[in-house]
Structures are given as C-alpha cells and as structure tokens.
Amino acid sequence: MARSIASTTRVDRAALTEFLRPRHRVVLMTTRADGRPQSSPVSAGVDAEGRLVISTYPERAKVRNIRRDPRVSVCVLSDDWNGPWVQVDGTAEVLDLPAALEPLVEYFRSISGEHPDWDEYRTAMVRQGKSLIRVTVTDWGPIATGGFPARLAD
C-alpha cells in the first residue's frame, strides 16, 4: 500500500495568489493584549490587489487585536482535509463603514461571484454594521501537504 508523502513547494507571489484565490477556509491568527495567539476560523477571499479579505463585525476580538497590533498570520486550507495548505504572514487593516461597503462587495464576489441583488446586499451590510479586514501578505512559507515523511515510503 502506497503512503501519502508530505511535500513542500516554494512559490513566487503570483503562484501564491493563484493558490489562495480558490481557497476560502482560513484560520486568522492575531495577538491578544497579553501576547498569546488568538485564532479565528473565517472565510476569506482575495481582492484585486492580492490581499486576503475577511468580512467581520467591529466588536470581534480579532478586530480589537488588529487595531492594537496589525501583524497577523493566516493558515489557508484546502477544502480537502489532506489537501495543500500554506501559512502567510502580513499586516492587517480594518475598514469600517462607510469605507468598507464597496470592498465588502468585492469580498463577496471573490468568494461567491455575483449577488442577485447588490442593493439588497449593500443594505444588509449597512444594517449589520459590517467591517472588512484586509491582509497585505508580506511573507509566506511553502505550500505544504500532509502525509508521512519520505523515509517511511513503501
């Protein structure tokens, strides 16, 4: 029986962005005031500038943490549990309404495509008081897959 062998692949920024675009399951890691990590499983998209974008509410811990310390790490996962993943590091900013409104439209498009009623969507975002997190990626590791080390291959 062949075993799945772990792998890592270094990529340039363009290849990283193409890897990120179809993957929307991420874990955003921020830093609490006491220095400990805070993890948030969220949905993310990629905007036209190649930044990760995440819809949120201004009251969330991740937002408070980013406003205090904008350094973040994001683990981007594949839908398949054993699929490839990557950790990226960067600097985050929080956009609040009204500045967040059109970027929230772009966020939706990056994940789900066109909305049947953009006016309705915009109204909902305002009613819910949404914010948007944008992460500018400054560093990244290799794209990795899980599995056994090569020394255990059959």
Q: What would the pLDDT profile of 22-47 be if each residue is shown by its tens digit?
A: 999 999 999 999 999 999 999 999 99
- pLDDT at position 154, please? 61
Total length of the chain: 154
Q: Are 85 and 77 in contact (CB under 8 A)?
A: yes
Q: Which residue, 144, 26, 27, is CA-closest to 83?
A: 144
Residue 77's region, left for phi above 0, alpha for psi from -120 to 50, else beta, is beta
Domains of the chain are 7-140 (2.30.110.10)
- Measured distance CA(92)–CA(66) in Å, rounded: 6
Tokens of 150: 């090569």
pLDDT at 149 over 80: no
Instruction: Calculate mean pLDDT across residues 14-23.
Output: 97
Burial of residue 54, with CB atoms counted within 10 A of its CB: 0-12 exposed, 13-18 middle, 19 or more buried: buried
Q: Read off the amino acid at residue 106.
A: E
Instruction: Calculate mean pLDDT across residues 60-78.
Output: 98
Instruction: Calculate mean pLDDT across residues 68-81.
Output: 96
- Measured distance CA(78)–CA(72) in Å, rounded: 20
